[in-house]
């Protein structure tokens, strides 16, 4: 077993273990991938202020999210099809998150179903919903989440139509995978992945297949999404979800202050500043640069979280110091899962927690709640996304 000291180690292992179709799905952004790159590049542009001779004993990275204690303010973002990155992937990730003490978000487009994840965990998890055209199906999904004990819904508002990711189209991404000759040839080199996949019965979209009328096989993800996603989604409908659900609602995919205000009016308890990990509007600014204006708009009214490009505890610290209440990670835990299953997700969380703790100490702070702008050196114009850096 190689020594894993950073997320990049997990990514390297991941690339060796997981078939190309699913690797491409996880690593790609839309179109030219400019936004995907900038999510990372802009985090890298922020510098940290080193402070010395400060008592660094008795530190804690523990926090609260939506009124519940968490080991650190980092949640597992919804990632579709993770049951294809590793067999029973969503169950493994949810168990790792539970053991670590951070929230896990199950995607609508997961392989393991809501009920399956609930049966294999004890901590409540969050359920991500896309807005689908079929109201009855939406209400049933929310009801299933309630029965499963989910403690919040995460309503993703930046994917009512799907942007194009070139490689997914070229690979014919689907679950179960479409076995073209080149996909088969690639999978033949991924023996442990294949054996685990053969041993599980969970190989299709567990929340949908067999639950939505007429859907026996989700076939091509792209084609299916385009068929079922509701292009008419508006704020009235989002307020309706809050009413149907009745519990905490996190609105994910906010990049503009005005949209954050509207989310608050629609009943959101939190927003996630997110450009979907660079997978939707290519050309949008990085999420970290969109954060300050959104904090100014709604930071005193609700929790503001951030995702996009977080690969280390240093990245988490930068977001927290800018004022985010917490962060979500997407690819970082997906790499861990594909690399080493449940243990890999645990390792990803350990790595990030360790980095966050040490970096906080070297910044001269002992609590994540004490982090602030005073810990950062921001490039000129950083807070105004119209200024090129």
Ligand X SMILES: Cc1cc2nc3c(=O)[nH]c(=O)nc-3n(C[C@H](O)[C@H](O)[C@H](O)COP(=O)(O)O)c2cc1C
Active site residues: 276
Q: Which listed residue (168, 307, 315, 355) binds ligand X by CB under 6 A?
A: 307
Q: Which listed residue (65, 66, 74, 80) binds ligand X by CB under 6 A?
A: 80
User: Could you report how far apart the first and last alpha carbons of the chain are, in Å?
Assistant: 41
Q: x-or-dash pattern for ligand X, window 99-118, by CB under 6 A?
A: --------x-x---------
CB nearer to ligand X: give 71 or 229: 229
Q: Which listed residue (14, 19, 38, 78) binds ligand X by CB under 6 A?
A: 78
CB nearer to ligand X: give 259 or 307: 307
Query: What does the alpha-carbon distance between residue 339 and residue 335 come to, in Å, rounded to a whole number?
Result: 6
Query: What does the alpha-carbon distance between residue 331 and residue 328 come to, in Å, rounded to a whole number?
Result: 10
Determine, following the binding rule CB under 6 A, whether residue 156 of this chain makes contact with ligand X. yes
Q: What is the dihedral of CA 44, 303, 107, 90, to 10 degrees?
A: 70
Query: What does the alpha-carbon distance between residue 14 and residue 332 come to, in Å, rounded to a whole number?
Result: 11
DSSP one-letter string for 290-305: HHHHHHHHHTTTSEEE
* Residues making up the chain, counted from first to last: 389
Q: Which listed residue (66, 70, 79, 291) binds ligand X by CB under 6 A?
A: 79
Q: Which listed residue (35, 113, 128, 312) binds ligand X by CB under 6 A?
A: 128
Name the residue among 268, 182, 171, 156 with its Cα closest to residue 221: 171
Query: What does the alpha-carbon distance between residue 235 and residue 243 come to, in Å, rounded to a whole number?
Result: 12
Q: Which stretch binds ligand X (CB under 6 A): 8-16, 43-51, 77-85, 214-222?
A: 77-85
CB nearer to ligand X: give 163 or 361: 163
CB nearer to ligand X: give 339 or 365: 339
Determine, following the binding rule CB under 6 A, whether residue 206 of this chain makes contact with ligand X. no
Q: Which stretch binds ligand X (CB under 6 A): 7-15, 43-51, 133-141, 269-277?
A: 269-277
How many residues bind ligand X (CB under 6 A)? The answer is: 25
Determine, following the binding rule CB under 6 A, whether residue 202 of this chain makes contact with ligand X. no
- Whole-number Cα distances in Å, 379 to 20, 64, 295, 365, 384: 37, 30, 18, 22, 11
Q: x-or-dash pattern for ligand X, window 18-57, by CB under 6 A?
A: -------xx------------x------------------
Query: What does the alpha-carbon distance between residue 221 and residue 227 come to, in Å, rounded to a whole number?
Result: 10
CA 378-381-386 angle, to 5 degrees, is 135
* Positions that interact with ligand X (CB under 6 A): 25-26, 39, 77-80, 107, 109, 128, 156, 252, 274, 276-277, 279, 307-310, 329-332, 334
């Amino acid at each position: 077993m190689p020594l894993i000291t950073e997320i990049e180690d997990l990514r390297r292992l991941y690339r060796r273990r997981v078939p190309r179709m699913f690797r491409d799905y996880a690593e790609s952004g839309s179109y030219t991938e400019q936004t995907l790159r900038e999510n990372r590049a802009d985090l890298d542009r922020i510098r940290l202020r080193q402070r010395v001779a400060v008592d660094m004993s008795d530190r804690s990275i523990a926090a609260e999210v939506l009124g519940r204690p968490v080991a650190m303010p980092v949640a597992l973002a919804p990632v579709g099809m993770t049951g294809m990155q590793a067999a029973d992937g969503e169950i493994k990730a949810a168990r790792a998150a539970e053991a670590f003490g951070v929230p896990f978000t199950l995607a609508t487009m997961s392989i393991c179903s809501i009920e399956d994840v609930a049966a294999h965990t004890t901590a409540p998890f969050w359920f991500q919903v896309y807005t689908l055209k079929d109201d009855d199906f939406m209400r049933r999904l929310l009801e299933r989440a309630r029965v499963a004990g989910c403690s919040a819904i995460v309503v993703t508002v930046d994917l009512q139509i799907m942007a194009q990711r070139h490689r997914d189209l070229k690979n014919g991404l689907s679950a179960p995978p479409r076995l073209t000759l080149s996909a088969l040839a690639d999978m033949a080199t991924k023996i442990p992945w294949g054996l685990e996949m053969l041993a599980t019965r969970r190989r299709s979209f567990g929340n949908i297949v067999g639950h939505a009328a007429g859907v026996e096989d989700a076939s091509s993800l792209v084609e299916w999404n385009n068929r079922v996603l509701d292009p008419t989604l508006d704020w009235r409908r989002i307020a309706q979800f809050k009413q149907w659900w009745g519990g905490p609602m996190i609105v994910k995919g906010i990049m503009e202050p005005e949209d954050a205000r509207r989310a608050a009016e629609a009943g959101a308890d939190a927003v996630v500043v997110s450009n979907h990990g660079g997978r939707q509007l290519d050309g949008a600014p990085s999420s970290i640069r969109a954060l300050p204006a959104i904090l100014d708009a709604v930071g005193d009214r609700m929790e503001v979280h951030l995702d996009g490009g977080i690969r280390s505890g240093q990245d988490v610290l930068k977001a927290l110091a800018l004022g985010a209440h917490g962060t979500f990670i997407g690819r970082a835990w997906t790499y861990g899962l594909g690399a080493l299953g449940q243990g890999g997700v645990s390792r990803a969380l350990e790595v990030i927690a360790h980095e966050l703790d040490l970096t906080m100490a070297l910044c001269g702070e002992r609590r994540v709640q004490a982090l602030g702008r005073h810990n950062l050196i921001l490039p000129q114009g950083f807070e105004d996304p119209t200024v090129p850096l």
